[in-house]
Structure 1
Amino acid sequence: MTFGLIGNSIAQSRAPALHQLLGQLHSLPLSYHLHDPGAATAIAFQQQLAELIARGYQGCNVTLPFKQIAINSAAQPDRAARRVGAVNTLGFGDTIRATNTDYTGFIRAYRHRRADRRAGRVLLLGAGGVGRAVAFGLTDVGTERIDIFDLDPVQATALARALCDEGVHARTVTAEQLQDRAARADGWVNCTPIGHYTTPGCPFELAWLGAQSWVFDAVYTPIDTPLLIAAADAGLDLVTGFDLFFYQGLDAFEFWTGIAVDEAAARVAFMDKFALQSALI
């Protein structure tokens, strides 16, 4: 069985390690490869996807910047993909199936860290593919309101409208409103690349930390991002990018193979095999 990941700047991805380990745990001859088309265009994505299908792959994951583009390639998007309007997992066969395990994976990650505690009022940065998935995931874990900021106001508005169409209290905010909304939020959510090893920094002003209850950072390379380190020091609950990476990976593996993974055993095996060092996971 052969799978892969299509995206830009993915050289540091741990996806091959996770999926190959899951294959080993279930005695499957599984390989997983990284594919960076270079250009961030629909044509570049389609060419890469066609190459994987021609080479006999059984499916692939999709990451930045192709998650919203990829849904147009699927003949059978499931409810999660249709709801979010973006996909991160494709299965190949007579037709292309699609799902969004960022959506399901975020819900699992949040509940792993916070059980049944409600998300409350959330400030979300980033309305792209992963931002859309996490925003809809928040509706399943008790969000009361989602304030959305994106450097592309059209993208932020589209997400707010999609959420409002489902009866969710969502609105866009401007850069000038960020400090006020951050102070009023129960949870901060980063779905931008800021904090990634290729785009270092912190997406929020850490001086705004105070009365919040929890923080989520979608970035997982590195695992200990400046945002999560500061939130941990402030005593907030953390939902890490590693959590999302791990659970979306499990959901993708199950989507492709139909095998239910023992998540506790898989987590221990992965951390042991790769000697992951982090105070946050």
Structure 2
Amino acid sequence: MKKPDRYAVLGNPIAHSLSPEIHRSFARSLGESIVYEKLEVPIGGFSDFVDSLIEQGYKGCNITLPFKMEAYKYAERLTVRARGCGAVNTLIFGSRVTGDNTDGAGFVADVTGRFGFPIEGSSILVLGAGGGVRGLLPSLLELNPKWIAVANRTMERAEALASSFGIDAIAYEETAAEHFDLIINATSTSLSNLAPPVPKAAFAEASLAYDLVYAARPTPFMELALKSGARKAVDGLGMLIEQAAESYADWRGVRPDTGSTYGEIRSLLENRAASAAAARP
């Protein structure tokens, strides 16, 4: 009997990852059998670790922080979208190792599909200038938005990123005077239970505020957005699931339907939060 194909998500830390549950849900929905694990990679040991997975017969892996740039360098060939953003979150093992980046496609699928937001002709503000933003920008630019501006605590980083992608850099305090249809929080502030220092006025005309961080409860960014006039504020669970579906398609040639998986993982997230709260003294 043929053993199930093996996959994994690699990161450090990695214990929090929901990727195994997501990919197992995809496999069940398609009637397929796979093994999917979460593996912590030693800092400084990425290449050797991936080499060992290939030797063990793994078929591919997802890459999360802090290894997306190392995966980009490790890949022997790159997809167009990986090359466009300069980072890799999916490795496909074969005669050569292929690197892809599914983050942008996952974000677009969630925003346009689940929430019905039209990116074409819209004005977009991105908060943060880290590696996660690079994964989004090529996919956003393909859909012809009216304007994309990036704001960051360090203006130099915002300007460097903006120059790379032909968009604008803007200071946080200047965002209050502009009109934005979509505001994306790509900072790590929500992980520290904080909101980014964006003025309330920046949200006044926003149709959608999107936090790339996912959580069982509204994040501080989401709360700020709704209090400040944004019509809708959502977290990044949908993007996580949609980018995972793109990775699954990379490996297995079929893109799973994400609707049932979204409901399943949302319930799992909420149940875990409730259990953790109940366990506190």
TM range (shorter): 0.7 to 0.9
* Counterpart Cα distance in 2 of 1:212 and 1:17: 33
The verdict on how the C-alpha distance between 1:83 and 1:223 changes in structure 2, with shifts beyond 3 A counting, is farther
* Counterpart Cα distance in 1 of 2:156 and 2:90: 25
2:242 partner letter:
Y
Residue aligning to 2:276: none
1:160 partner letter:
A
Question: Which structure: larger Rg?
Answer: 2
Residue aligning to 2:213: 219
1:259 is the counterpart of 2:259? no
Q: Report the secondary structure of 2:65's partner residue.
A: coil
Q: What percentage of aligned pairs have identical amino acids?
A: 26
Give the deviation of 1:163 after TM superposition.
1.3
CA deviation string 1:242-279 (max 9, x = no partner): 1110100111111111123223343345446766699x
TM-score after normalising by structure 2:
0.83
Contact 2:172 2:199 in 1 (8 A): no
* Counterpart Cα distance in 2 of 1:63 and 1:182: 33
Residue aligning to 2:139: 137
The verdict on how the C-alpha distance between 1:146 and 1:127 changes in structure 2, with shifts beyond 3 A counting, is same
1:10 is the counterpart of 2:8? no
TM-score after normalising by structure 1:
0.83
Contact 1:64 1:129 in 2 (8 A): no
1:201 partner letter:
L
Residue aligning to 1:147: 149
Contact 1:223 1:241 in 2 (8 A): no
Residues 83-92 or 125-134, more deviating: 125-134
Aligned length: 265
Give the deviation of 1:121 after TM superposition.
2.5
2:223 partner letter:
I
Give the deviation of 1:210 after TM superposition.
2.3
| Structure 2 gap segments, 5+ residues each | 274-281
1:87 is the counterpart of 2:61? no
CA deviation string 1:166-209 (max 9, x = no partner): xxxx1223xxx21222441412211122212xx33112446344
The verdict on how the C-alpha distance between 1:150 and 1:206 changes in structure 2, with shifts beyond 3 A counting, is closer
The verdict on how the C-alpha distance between 1:18 and 1:206 changes in structure 2, with shifts beyond 3 A counting, is farther
Residue aligning to 1:114: 116
Residue aligning to 2:240: 245
Q: Report the secondary structure of 1:95's partner residue.
A: coil
Contact 2:176 2:200 in 1 (8 A): no
| Structure 1 gap segments, 5+ residues each | 165-169
1:263 partner letter:
T
Q: CA RMSD of the aligned region, Å?
A: 2.6
* Counterpart Cα distance in 1 of 2:184 and 2:190: 13
Q: Report the secondary structure of 1:108's partner residue.
A: helix
Residues 254-263 or 242-251, more deviating: 254-263
The verdict on how the C-alpha distance between 1:26 and 1:103 changes in structure 2, with shifts beyond 3 A counting, is same
Q: How does 1:173-252 map to 2 (within 5 A)?
A: 173=170, 177-186=171-180, 187-196=182-191, 199-205=192-198, 207-208=200-201, 209-222=203-216, 224-233=218-227, 234-252=229-247
Q: Report the secondary structure of 2:45's partner residue.
A: helix
CA deviation string 1:11-45 (max 9, x = no partner): 21111100011112222221221122243xxx332
Q: How does 1:54-133 map to 2 (within 5 A)?
A: 54-112=55-113, 113-116=115-118, 118=120, 120-133=122-135
